[in-house]
């Protein structure tokens, strides 16, 4: 069986989760669900990045130990994962003893083979990014991402010979033009390497909150090295047996553009040093913006995903994320925009369509899905949709995929208007035509439900239930979405309005 491994970044726990965290998690969930529908064996990983100075400082401010702080905060991230209906197979915490042990083993190996050495270092450090900056990369002396002034740090640290891997890394990029998606991100990633690579500090002497360097426990492992390793350590202990052989290399690491450099340079170089395969793709999405700026904890301009889901439901939130913003690019999100789409698309175009179709089958055919009389004009559109979904999902164009599905939803609405079943129902001799139209609408809705499943899983299962289908694995398979898969004779059922219209 083909395997598929997708990851999200592991999120910092210095503050509460926000909509940006929900966004990447849902995107990974969409991919995971889709690949399960293809019949693949899927591993979907998410989790939390719990070491490092922001978490240590947050704990200090609150007068608790770092461990107490992260134990408290992780609950909110696990709650977010649950509430967005993420179907993750594991949730890794970098404070897991199993993870820490494997991080130590990994860097010990690099140390033993001469890839790590001791050196004293002086540099400008942004502790929110957990990264050193060169003067020229600052905005007016401030961190371009956080708007805060970096501190001058001077320490004796362990360095990883990143420079040694620059050529091999560049070759990997040349040989794998789809290593980083999309093209502009690939170019950006390649330009990091083209500019030459300097060795990087991979330990901290002044910080206590981290994984101890095994040969020098006075130092802790740099939080980014610790964090990146999660993608392989998790496979070692998430299951009863070691899953590394089955799932590594990862198919997709999803992330926002803020952390591309770490994933595009440091991570693959670490893997090359360890003689491991590189992930197949990094997919970099844009920022969700409110009022034109990236939402971030440091800036405080965050939209609370819990409040949004509580008020409008999880599927409406998931839908909006991939409908409003082209996946891969930055996009502005707002409550107004959300409510507009909710009403016009979810309530009117989808919810209303389902209740009309079910009501007509009840009214005209006693709730039983009739047999079609012949070929359908919608079969071609369904076949085209199937082709486009496959094409878009194969390049992680989640919004393009949803757009195509929505085009099909709209064609069903047009079909209702054009065929006017209420008129056909008044003419006895047109009963065959009415059967045909009712079947087509039910079948069209079933196909929508299958393709919509990765995006709005609850709604998808509910649509299938109304059409007399269980929404079990078989009903959800992508293969089963082919036109004509709906067996006539099943009974439709009633239910609450899918998306109640907002005032
Ligand atoms: O960077 N729009 O954690 P983090 C879209 N621990 N996505 C956003 C976003 C926004 N406005 N804000 C955040 C870290 N994200 C490290 C990662 S991985 C080995 C270690 C998402 O809590 C996006 O995926 O700052 C971004 O890359 C990630 O959250 C950063 O999360």
Catalytic: 99?
no
User: Looking at residue 47, what DSSP letter applies?
Assistant: E
> Tens digit of pLDDT for each residue in 426-468?
999 999 999 999 999 999 999 999 999 999 999 999 999 999 9
10 CB within 6 A, ligand 1: yes
Grade residue 337 by pLDDT with cuts at 50, 70 and 90: confident
Task: Of 38, 44, 109, 48, give the one whose Cα is nearest residue 77.
Answer: 48
- What's the 270 CA to ligand 1 centre distance in angstroms? 21
255 close to ligand 1 (CB < 6 Angstrom): yes
pTM equals 0.94
Ligand 1 atom nearest the C-alpha of 230 is 19
What gap in Å lies between CA 232 and CA 217, rounded to an integer?
23
Question: Is 24 near ligand 1, meaning CB less than 6 Å away?
Answer: yes
Known catalytic residue at 129? yes
Which atom of ligand 1 approaches the CA of 12 most closely?
A: 22
Residues 6+ apart with CB under 8 A from 204: 155, 157, 210, 219, 220, 222, 223
Least reliable range by pLDDT among 59-63, 122-126, 199-203, 234-238: 122-126
Residue by residue, DSSP assigns 71-138 as: HHHHHHHHHHHHHTT---SEEEETT-HHHHHHHHHHHHHHHHTT-EEEEEEEEEEETTTTEEE-GGGS
Q: Say which of 129, 321, 401, 448 is annotated catalytic.
A: 129
Q: Is the pLDDT of residue 214 over 60?
A: yes
In the chain, DSSP finds a helix count (H) and a strand count (E) of 21, 16
Distance 24 CA to ligand 1 centre (A): 8
CA distance 210 to 216: 13
Mean pLDDT of 137-160: 90
Would you give the distance in Å from CA 312 to the centre of its chain? 20
Both tokens of residue 451? 């393709």
Q: 126 catalytic, yes or no?
A: yes
- Which residue lies with its CA nearest to atom 4 of ligand 1? 11
State which ligand 1 atom lies nearest to the alpha carbon of 24. Answer: 24
What is the pLDDT confidence band of residue 284, given thresholds at 50, 70 and 90? Answer: very high
Please say if 35 is a catalytic residue: no
Residue 100 is a catalytic residue = no
Catalytic residue among 281, 297, 392, 453: 297
Q: Which two tokens stand for residue 383?
A: 């076949």
Q: Is 172 a catalytic residue?
A: no
Among all chains, which residue has been given the structure tokens 């045909």? 436
- Supply the residue whose CA is at minimum distance from atom 27 of ligand 1: 256
Dist CA 418 CA 437 (whole Å): 10
User: What is the position in ligand 1's atom list of the atom closest to the CA of 257?
Assistant: 27
Pocket test for ligand 1, best of 84, 95, 232, 258 (most atoms within 8 A of CB): 258
Residues 86-107: tens digit of each pLDDT: 999 999 999 999 999 999 999 9
């Amino acid at each position: 069986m083909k395997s598929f491994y997708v990851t999200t970044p592991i999120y910092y726990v210095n503050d509460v989760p926000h909509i940006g965290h929900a966004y990447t998690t849902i995107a990974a969930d969409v991919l995971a669900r889709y690949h399960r529908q293809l019949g693949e064996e899927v591993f979907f990983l998410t989790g939390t990045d719990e070491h490092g100075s922001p978490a240590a400082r947050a704990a200090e401010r609150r007068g608790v130990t770092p461990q107490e702080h992260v134990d408290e905060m992780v609950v909110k991230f696990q709650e977010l994962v649950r509430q967005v209906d993420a179907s993750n197979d594991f949730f890794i915490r970098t404070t897991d003893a199993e993870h820490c042990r494997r991080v130590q083993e990994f860097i010990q190996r690099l140390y033993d083979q001469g890839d790590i050495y001791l050196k004293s270092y002086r540099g400008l450090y942004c502790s929110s990014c957990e990264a050193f900056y060169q003067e020229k990369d600052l905005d007016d002396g401030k961190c371009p991402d956080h708007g805060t002034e970096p501190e001058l740090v001077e320490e004796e640290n362990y360095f990883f010979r990143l420079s040694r891997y620059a050529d091999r890394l560049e070759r990997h990029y040349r040989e794998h033009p789809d290593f980083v998606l999309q093209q502009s991100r690939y170019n950006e990633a390649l330009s990091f390497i083209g500019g030459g690579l300097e060795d990087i500090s991979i330990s901290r002497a002044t910080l206590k909150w981290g994984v101890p360097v095994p040969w020098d426990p006075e130092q802790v492992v740099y939080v980014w090295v610790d964090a990146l390793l999660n993608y392989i350590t998790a496979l070692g202990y998430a299951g009863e047996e070691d899953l590394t052989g089955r799932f590594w290399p990862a198919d997709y690491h999803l992330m926002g553009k803020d952390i591309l450099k770490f994933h595009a340079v440091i991570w693959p170089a670490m893997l090359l040093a360890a003689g491991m395969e590189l992930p197949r793709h990094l997919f970099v999405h844009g920022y969700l913006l409110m009022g034109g700026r990236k939402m971030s904890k440091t800036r405080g301009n965050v939209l609370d995903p819990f409040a949004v889901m509580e008020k409008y439901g999880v599927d409406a939130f998931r839908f909006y994320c991939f409908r409003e913003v082209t996946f891969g690019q930055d996009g502005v999100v707002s409550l107004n925009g959300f409510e507009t789409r909710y009403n016009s698309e979810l309530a009117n175009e989808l919810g209303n369509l389902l209740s009309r179709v079910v009501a007509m089958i009840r009214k005209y055919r006693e709730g039983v899905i009739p047999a079609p009389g012949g070929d359908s004009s919608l079969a071609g559109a369904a076949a085209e949709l199937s082709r486009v979904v496959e094409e878009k999902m194969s390049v992680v164009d989640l919004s393009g995929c949803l757009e195509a599905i929505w085009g099909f939803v709209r064609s069903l609405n047009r079909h209702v208007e054009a065929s006017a079943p209420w008129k056909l129902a008044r003419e006895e001799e047109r009963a065959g035509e009415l059967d045909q139209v009712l079947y087509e609408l039910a079948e069209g809705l079933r196909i929508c439900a299958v393709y919509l499943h990765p995006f709005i899983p609850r709604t998808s299962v509910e649509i299938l239930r109304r059409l007399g289908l269980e929404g079990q694995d078989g009903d959800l398979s992508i293969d089963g979405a082919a036109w004509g898969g709906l067996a006539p004779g099943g009974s439709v059922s009633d239910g609450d309005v899918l998306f109640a219209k907002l005032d």
